[in-house]
């Protein structure tokens, strides 16, 4: 199988890193600005995906495979994190009947 990426692409490593940074920023602002815990979780996932894109891009442009292997671990951790996080959200919803972060402030008082 031939590599898809041309020898001298117009959009090289900086472009991929820029897309990754944009994705991370969108996820970050989602975590900051949204109130729904579930949507905050989705934004966390976006941030993780941005980091995987940076890893794959670095690995491709440096001619190694280690970054790609690391993405496997990131994906595994992300899956475990989503399972535990959603279980916590369901347990919280059972107790408080809300998923809004503004009303989940019991630790503050």
Residues 69-108 that bind another protein (CB under 8 A): 69, 71-73, 75-84, 86-91, 93, 98-100, 102
Both tokens of residue 51? 């980091």
CA distance 68 to 45: 18
Both tokens of residue 63? 């001619």
Minimum distance of another protein from residue 106's CB (angstroms): 17
The residue (of 8 and 106) whose beta carbon lies closer to another protein is: 8
Minimum distance of another protein from residue 96's CB (angstroms): 11
The residue (of 4 and 106) whose beta carbon lies closer to another protein is: 4
Minimum distance of another protein from residue 44's CB (angstroms): 11
Q: Where in 18-47 is the site for another protein (CB under 8 A)?
A: 18-19, 21-30, 32-36, 38-39, 41-43, 45-46
Query: With CB under 8 A, what is the number of residues at the site for another protein?
Result: 78
Residue 66 to residues 47, 48, 76, 104: CA-CA distances in angstroms? 20, 17, 16, 41
Q: Which of 58, 81, 77, 76 is nearest to 68 (CA)?
A: 58
Rule CB under 8 A: say whether 57 interacts with another protein. Answer: yes
Both tokens of residue 61? 């442009």
């Amino acid at each position: 199988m031939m590599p898809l990426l041309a020898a001298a692409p117009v959009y090289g490593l900086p472009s991929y890193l820029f897309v990754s940074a944009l994705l991370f920023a969108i996820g970050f602002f989602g975590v900051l600005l949204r109130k729904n815990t579930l949507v905050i979780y989705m934004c966390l996932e976006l941030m993780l995906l941005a980091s995987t894109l940076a890893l794959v891009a670095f690995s491709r442009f440096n001619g190694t495979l280690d970054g790609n292997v690391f993405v496997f671990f990131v994906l595994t951790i992300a899956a475990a994190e989503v399972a535990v996080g959603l279980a916590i959200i369901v347990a919280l919803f059972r107790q408080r009947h809300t998923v809004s972060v503004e009303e989940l402030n019991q630790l503050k008082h």
